[in-house]
Amino acid sequence: MIVWTEQAYGTGVPEIDAQHRELFDRVNAVVGMSENGHDVQELERTLDYLARYVVEHFVFEEAWMAEHNCPGQEANTAGHTRFVSRLTSFQHRFPHEGETSDYQGELSRFLTRWLSNHVEVIDVQNMKQPATA
Ligand SMILES: [Fe+2]
Ligand SMILES: [Fe+2]
């Protein structure tokens, strides 16, 4: 479970912050379903829903950073590409392993760590506008 806070994760860009909050909610939904032994088909649908939403967010964010000449765009895009490929591999494994607690634990740890780390270290650093005196 990850909690969005302005202090740790605020970028100063309202649309991006709203998308990040939505992503946090969707990751938490996957984690919550894993922990509570939810219906496995519902877990798979929730994971697929997260995967679609994250791509929309990445497209929006990459365009925003390009438009605003943000530093670190390559690191951001590379991080997104790696995340999508890891997530795709989790989706491919789902039919065989999705109901195991090993898989669900690994998926939950990956999602929460990646999202909190990427937003805090890459997104915030690249987008936060320097305060003008
Ligand atoms: Fe982001
Ligand atoms: Fe990003």
Place of tokens 């991080």: 79
pLDDT in tens, 23-67: 999 999 999 999 887 899 999 999 999 999 999 999 999 999 999
Structural domain contains residue 7 = no
Is 9 within a domain? no
* Residue 57 counted as domain residue: yes
Percent of all residues in the chain with a pLDDT value above 70, rounded to a whole number? 96
Ligand nearest to the CA of 11: 1
40-67 helix and 101-118 helix, angle to the nearest 10 degrees: 20
28 vs 111: CA distance, rounded Å: 9
CA of 119 to the centre of ligand 1 (A): 6
* pLDDT confidence band for 89 (50 / 70 / 90): very high
If one counts the domains in the chain, the total is 1
Nearest to 37 by CA among 91, 89, 100: 100
Ligand number, closest to the Cα atom of 21: 1
Does 77 fall in a domain?
A: yes
- Distance (angstroms) between ligand 1 centre and the Cα of 82 equals 13
Q: Tell me, what's the pLDDT at 128? A: 76
DSSP per-residue letters across 27-40: HHHHHHHHHTT--H
pLDDT, residue 129, reads 62
Instruction: Look at residue 10 and tell me if it is in a domain.
Output: no
Query: What confidence tier does 117 reach under pLDDT thresholds 50, 70, 90?
Result: very high
Q: Is residue 5 part of a domain?
A: no
Q: For residue 96, how far is its CA from the centre of ligand 1 (angstroms)?
A: 30
> Is 1 domain-assigned?
no
CA of 39 to the centre of ligand 2 (A): 31
**How many whole angstroms separate alpha carbon 34 and alpha carbon 43?**
7
Q: Which domain CATH number covers 79?
A: 1.20.120.50
Can you give the pLDDT at residue 133?
A: 44
User: Residue 130: its pLDDT value, please?
Assistant: 54
Residue 19 lies in a domain: yes
Q: How far is the CA of 123 from the centre of ligand 1 (A)?
A: 6
80: containing domain: 15-127
